[in-house]
Structure 1
């Protein structure tokens, strides 16, 4: 699945909320902190990680492409 952003970047926690994977920023913080999220194939622990077009986010078997 792809998700188009309207700015130069989006933070990882905001992205997870935007694609409806989590219901709140607190939930995003927990999931990211526990190492469940991968960005471009690597585990990402920073909720403020800036995602840009071309980045791939994976969580629980779901993959999202940032456009």
Structure 2
């Protein structure tokens, strides 16, 4: 009887440990997804900023005109 109780308790503990591990994995995946979205947004802002700088700079406009002439 004691061995059966120990076996049941061991199985319950194993199940709980597996649930905890699964939740940890889910949290890690969610954190990575959130970080990816943040970085993607920052990249879009930086890309727009670079485009604005290039369009405002005479050097890049001259380069583009020179390419158009060729």
| TM-score when normalising by structure 1 | 0.20
Rg: which structure is higher? 2
